[in-house]
Structures are given as C-alpha cells and as structure tokens.
Amino acid sequence: MIVLGIETSCDETSAALYSEQGLLAHAVHYQAVHEEYGGVVPEFASRAHMRTLIPTIRYVIRRAGLSFRDLGAVAVTYGPGLVGSLIVGLNVAKGLAVALRLPLVGINHIEGHIFANFLEEPFPELPGVCLVVSGGHTQLVLVRRLGDYRVLGRTRDDAAGEAFDKVARILGLGYPGGPAIEAAAAAGQENAVSFPRGLMENSYDFSFSGLKTAVLYYHRALSPQEREKRLADVAASFQKAVVDVLVAKALRACQEFGVRSLSVVGGVARNRRLRRALEELAAETGIPVFVPKPEFCTDNAAMIARAGFFHLLHGVRSDLRLAPAPSLNLDSRYLPTD
C-alpha cells in the first residue's frame, strides 16, 4: 500500500509517499514570504498552499516513478495548526480520495512528529518519552505504544520555538529566529548572562515567557555599543537556558516512568546545542536518545505519511466530514484497546 501524505498545518507545503518499502519520495516547499514580516502571516500561508500543494504532490509522484493510479490511501494533517492552511490540505486530500476512490485518514500533527523517529531504523523502543519542541508546540509525551499517548506537560505560554523567534526579534536578528539565534550564539559564551529557567520545580509544564522578558530587559539596559558587543553572549546564554529546561524535564520524565527511550522531535530539535546536550545525556545516563534527521525535524509530510500508514494498517479511517481542528490535543488514545 502506497500512502500519500499531505502536510499544510503552518507555512510549509509538503507531500510524501510511504509504503512497506519505506519512504519513497518527499518534498517540502518553504514560504520565504513571511521573513519580511518577522513571522507567519496566516492569509499568505494559505494562499501559498493553494498555489504549491498540487504541484508538490505531482512532483513526489513523478520522483517516485509512479502515477496517481498507484496510490493506495491519503493521509492528511487535520490539526493542530492554522485553520486556513489546514483547510487547503484537507480539501485537496478529500478531492483525491473521492476522485481515486481511496481511503482517507486524518493525522494529528503532533503525533506526526512522534512518527518522525520511525521513518528510519533503528526505531525507539517503547514505552518511551517524546519531547515535541517546535515553533508552535512544546509538549512532553509518554508514548506507551504508537497510537497511545499521555501528555505529561505542555507550555503554559510561549513554545520554545516561539521564544526563539521573539528573542531573535528583540536582538534584531531576523526571522526565523531559531537558526539566527544559533548562528549568533556560536561566537558567544553561554554562561556570560544568568537568565532564569522557568518552571523547574516538579511540574512537567514549560514556561518561556519569563526568560523572554528577562532577555528584553537585559537588552534594553545596554547601550547600542554594548548591545553589539554582547550580542553573541546574550544569544548563547538564552539558548543554553532553553536547552537546560528541555533536557532537565525530559530526563526527569524518563527516570520517573522508567522508559526505554527518549525521543526529541520538532523544528527546535534541529538546534545543534540541543543535540549536543542530548548526546551528553545519553552518554551520562545510558538512556537511548533518538532525534530525526534535520530534514524530518521541521514540518514535513513524510512523518504524516508514516503515521497514516500505521493507522491504516490498524483499520483507522476518516470520512469526508473530517474537519480542520486548529486546537487539536494529543490527550487521547488513537487505537482501540487490546
């Protein structure tokens, strides 16, 4: 069975093909239009999806040496995300399902990220803890088995990726903030400024608004000359503060629940400082740590196709009433109980 995956939850337009042989082809179209606005403009995002989704689907089918007749099912993100962007992906997926008489399955975007570590072997052993950390989401999830999740904690305000974007704007580094902060931090001393670590008590929830505000006040107190001189140190110190919180909470969850693995997924998982901290964690504790290839950390349809393939094999289907769910949660069981 060849599953076409479609991902349009935010500003990346992506399509992919997955089968028993693994990932056959995938492509992501990035929308550069948002850079000049310092963030994603929802109207621009949905219009760009309308222009590029069908060509992207055609491209991956052609790249795999297949035709539309070879497709066996369609998997599509239906939430969480920007409602206009989700509608575009859903409408195209439904149209293909009807025209080609294919089964349709809706995929939770957060669950899709969890499946990013199941695109290539070795796979994480379960039960495991998964840290989902991106521009719009920061969640700590207990993965009992694929399709069965318990959210241990989530952000109470800014997601980690959102904090990167906002701090980059404060420092005048541009958008997207994650790569900009990481590049600036490379020349800095990460212990130069003592920034706060939010919610480090027993809670598994996250809070980055206090850290963001601390950076803002520190930056405002500097003269223009000092701002330029200390830019790298501020970026590095902020980055380390975020990494410290993410790693500490993930480690505590692994120890409390006695899991077999730790997975870290989402766009922020591309960050090299975070990846280094995770390598150190694995070496010190013996906990197997899994992080996808950088191309599968950011939003992509490969993870959606992979999740769809799994659910279709377990008899999960969606009907044409499937609607966008911009605030969709992961607090549910996606498969029937045994």
Same domain, 88 and 160: no
Same domain, 182 and 273: yes
Mean pLDDT of 191-207: 91
Confidence of residue 32 (pLDDT cuts 50, 70, 90): confident
Residues 274 and 288: their CA atoms lie apart, in Å, by 15
Residue 230 placed within a domain = yes
Residues 150 and 159: their CA atoms lie apart, in Å, by 19
Q: DSSP state, 276? A: H
**What is the structure's pLDDT at 123?**
98
Same domain, 161 and 266: yes
Residue 318 placed within a domain = no
Decide if pLDDT at 194 tops 60: yes
Decide if pLDDT at 188 tops 60: yes
Same domain, 53 and 159: no
Same domain, 61 and 108: yes
Residues 127 and 130: their CA atoms lie apart, in Å, by 10
**What is the structure's pLDDT at 337?**
46
Same domain, 192 and 232: yes
Say if residues 311 and 322 touch (Cβ distance below 8 Å): no
Confidence of residue 338 (pLDDT cuts 50, 70, 90): very low
Residue 70 placed within a domain = yes
Q: Does the bond joining 288 to the residue before it have cis omega, within 30 degrees of 0? A: no
Same domain, 53 and 128: no
Mean pLDDT of 248-271: 97
Same domain, 49 and 145: no
Output 163 or 34, whichever has higher pLDDT: 163
User: How do 3-7 and 73-79 pair as beta strands?
Assistant: parallel
Mean pLDDT of 170-182: 94
Residue 258 placed within a domain = yes
**What is the structure's pLDDT at 281?**
97
Three-class DSSP category at 171 = coil
Residues 208 and 337: their CA atoms lie apart, in Å, by 36
Same domain, 53 and 168: no
Decide if pLDDT at 333 tops 90: no
Mean pLDDT of 19-35: 91
Residue 332 placed within a domain = no
CATH of the domain at 16: 3.30.420.40
* Domains contained in the chain, number: 2
Residues 18 and 305: their CA atoms lie apart, in Å, by 6
Determine what percent of the chain is predicted with pLDDT higher than 90: 89
Same domain, 72 and 143: no
**What is the structure's pLDDT at 335?**
55
Same domain, 284 and 215: yes
pLDDT digits (tens, 9 = 90+) for 38-83: 778 888 999 999 999 999 999 999 999 999 999 999 999 999 999 9
Confidence of residue 334 (pLDDT cuts 50, 70, 90): low
Confidence of residue 4 (pLDDT cuts 50, 70, 90): very high
Same domain, 220 and 155: yes
Confidence of residue 30 (pLDDT cuts 50, 70, 90): confident
Quote the pTM value: 0.95
Residue 322 placed within a domain = no
Q: Between vectors from CA 34 to CA 31 and to CA 38, what angle results, nearest 5°?
A: 145
Say if residues 296 and 320 touch (Cβ distance below 8 Å): no
CA distances 117 to 110, 124, 315, Å, are: 13, 7, 22
Q: Kindly report the average pLDDT of the chain as a whole number.
A: 95
Residue 81 placed within a domain = yes
Residue ranges making up the domain that contains 66: 3-114+296-313
Residue 326 placed within a domain = no
